[in-house]
């Protein structure tokens, strides 16, 4: 299969249809092919489940009958075209999502919506840096409450000072996001609208046993 043009993401549900992860298209197809996952096809508010073969047949039918949706994406193989699923369900995995969102560069930039938390400019990830609000040199920790995205200019201006000393103001108070912040960025795009069925707050605020 060719995946070059595919940078999309697939929402992964557990066996009880609770969102637990986001996978690459390649990984999603691997899971389907190994029959450990099914496609969850959302149309008009109802769900249909398909194994790999069944999904291939549905795709073929759509492709041959001109029923291809504008927002859909397709993968070409040597012998057939198959639609990229937006949501899959793991058949035997019944655990719930991690209760804490891991603090890493990608999640941090997503939480702050790739926006400098001092001047408010939006930048590509490559041009953003991480700022410790209370600098490490003053005993600040690397926690959700103490790190923010900053543009190079603001980061330089702030140096190893607190915002107060540097005369700068945070546009909002940093904290741990309630769920994987990358989802918020994805949901802005029409192709991920089907994810909304599985992402209401009840799923993400469920008390873990
Ligand atoms: Zn800035």
CATH, residue 154: 1.10.30.50
Q: How far is the CA of 186 from the centre of ligand 1 (A)?
A: 24
Q: How far is the CA of 114 from the centre of ligand 1 (A)?
A: 11
Pair 156, 194 in one domain: no
CB count, 10 Å around CB of 94?
A: 11
Any domain includes 174: no
Which H/E stretch holds residue 10?
strand 9-13
Pair 112, 139 in one domain: yes
Q: How far is the CA of 106 from the centre of ligand 1 (A)?
A: 18
Q: How far is the CA of 119 from the centre of ligand 1 (A)?
A: 4
Q: How far is the CA of 188 from the centre of ligand 1 (A)?
A: 23
Any domain includes 74: yes
User: What pLDDT score does 2 carry?
Assistant: 44
Any domain includes 67: yes
Any domain includes 176: no
Pair 144, 123 in one domain: yes
Pair 83, 152 in one domain: no
Any domain includes 149: yes
Pair 51, 86 in one domain: yes
Q: φ, ψ for residue 44 (rounded to 5)?
A: 50, 40
User: What pLDDT score does 201 carry?
Assistant: 52
Pair 92, 144 in one domain: no
DSSP helix/strand/coil, 168: coil
Residue indicated by tokens 């986001």: 22
Q: How far is the CA of 38 from the centre of ligand 1 (A)?
A: 44
Any domain includes 120: yes
Any domain includes 162: yes
Q: How far is the CA of 69 from the centre of ligand 1 (A)?
A: 40
Number of domains in the chain: 2
Q: How far is the CA of 194 from the centre of ligand 1 (A)?
A: 34
Averaged pLDDT, groups of 10, the chain, 209 residues long: 66 89 93 97 86 96 90 89 95 79 88 95 90 95 95 95 96 86 80 82 48
Q: How far is the CA of 98 from the centre of ligand 1 (A)?
A: 32
Distance set, CA 175 to CA 112, 133, 183, 197 (Å) = 10, 12, 17, 26
What is the C-alpha to C-alpha distance for residues 189 and 209, in angstroms, rounded to an integer? 33
Pair 141, 185 in one domain: no
Pair 138, 116 in one domain: yes
What is the C-alpha to C-alpha distance for residues 74 and 136, in angstroms, rounded to an integer? 47
Pair 92, 17 in one domain: yes
User: What pLDDT score does 209 carry?
Assistant: 42
User: What pLDDT score does 1 carry?
Assistant: 45
Which H/E stretch holds residue 21?
strand 19-24
- Residue range of the domain that includes 200: 9-98+181-205
Pair 160, 137 in one domain: yes
Q: How far is the CA of 121 from the centre of ligand 1 (A)?
A: 6
Any domain includes 4: no
């Amino acid at each position: 299969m060719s995946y070059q043009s595919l940078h999309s993401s697939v929402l992964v549900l557990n066996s009880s249809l609770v969102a637990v992860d986001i996978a690459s298209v390649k990984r999603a197809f691997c899971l389907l092919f190994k029959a450990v996952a099914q496609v969850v096809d959302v149309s008009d508010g109802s769900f249909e489940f398909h194994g790999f073969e069944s999904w291939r047949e549905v795709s073929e039918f759509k492709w041959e009958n001109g029923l291809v949706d504008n927002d859909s994406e397709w993968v070409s193989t040597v012998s057939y075209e198959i639609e990229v699923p937006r949501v899959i369900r793991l058949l035997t995995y019944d655990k719930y999502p991690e209760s804490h969102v891991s603090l890493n560069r990608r999640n941090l930039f997503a939480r702050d919506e790739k926006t400098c938390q001092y001047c408010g400019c939006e930048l590509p990830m490559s041009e953003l840096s991480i700022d410790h609000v209370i600098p490490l040199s003053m005993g600040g920790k690397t926690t959700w409450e103490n790190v923010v995205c900053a543009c190079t200019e603001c980061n330089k201006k702030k140096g190893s000072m607190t915002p107060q000393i540097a005369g700068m103001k945070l546009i909002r108070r940093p904290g741990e996001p309630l769920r994987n912040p990358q989802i918020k960025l994805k949901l802005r795009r029409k192709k991920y609208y089907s994810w909304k069925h599985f992402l209401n707050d009840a799923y993400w605020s469920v008390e873990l046993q």
